[in-house]
């Protein structure tokens, strides 16, 4: 009888340790998510330009990324507050990247473009033919 008591007590103690470890692991991953923030914003990537080969998107905070072909545009991606987003465009042959048009009216010419947005937005990649000559 005493052996059965100690066996049951040992199993109960083991289960309590397993439960505590499981709870500790789940709370640490949710606290990491809370520090980064929940994905509550979105970016819609667009390009109606015939010069687009593809766009490479990377969330520098999470490491998540996507290679987006023209046929999948517009493409929507969620991100959290304080995330740094990088966009790099690749032009088709005989075209060159011209600029990014942002939904707030600003124009960005960096390629790649790294930004830390504070709200949802749209970004549009624009290209021009290589043979355009400016006087």
Domain with residue 47: its CATH number is 2.60.40
The domain tally of the chain equals 2
Q: Domain limits at 12?
A: 1-36
Does any domain span residue 102? yes
Summarised one tens digit per residue, pLDDT across range 56-110 is: 999 999 999 999 999 999 999 999 999 999 999 999 999 999 999 999 999 999 9
The DSSP element (H or E) to which 3 belongs, if any, is helix 2-36
Does any domain span residue 24? yes
Q: What is the pLDDT of residue 28?
A: 42
- Model pTM score: 0.70
The DSSP element (H or E) to which 78 belongs, if any, is strand 75-80
Instruction: Say yes or no: 11 and 44 in one domain.
Output: no
Summarised one tens digit per residue, pLDDT across range 18-50 is: 555 555 554 444 434 445 677 899 999 999 889
Instruction: Say yes or no: 57 and 123 in one domain.
Output: yes
- Given a contact cutoff of 8 angstroms between Cβ atoms, the answer to whether 48 and 17 are in contact is no
Instruction: Say yes or no: 74 and 98 in one domain.
Output: yes
Q: Which two tokens stand for residue 107?
A: 């124009």
Q: What is the pLDDT of residue 30?
A: 40
Q: How far apart are the first and last CA of the chain?
A: 100
What DSSP string describes 5-53?
A: HHHHHHHHHHHHHHHHHHHHHHHHHHHHHHHH--EEEEEEEE---TTEE
Does any domain span residue 67? yes
């Amino acid at each position: 009888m005493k052996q059965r008591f100690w066996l049951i007590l040992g199993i109960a103690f083991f289960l309590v340790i397993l439960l505590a470890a499981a709870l500790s692991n789940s709370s640490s991953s949710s606290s990491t998510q809370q520090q980064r923030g929940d994905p509550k914003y979105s970016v819609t990537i667009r390009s109606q330009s015939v010069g687009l080969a593809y766009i490479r998107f990377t969330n520098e905070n999470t490491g998540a990324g996507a290679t987006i072909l023209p046929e999948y545009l517009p493409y929507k991606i969620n991100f959290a507050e304080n995330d740094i987003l990088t966009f790099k465009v690749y032009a088709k042959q005989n075209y060159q990247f011209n600029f990014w048009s942002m939904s707030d009216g600003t124009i960005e010419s960096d390629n790649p473009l790294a930004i830390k947005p504070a709200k949802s937005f749209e970004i549009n990649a624009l290209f021009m033919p290589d043979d355009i000559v400016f006087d």
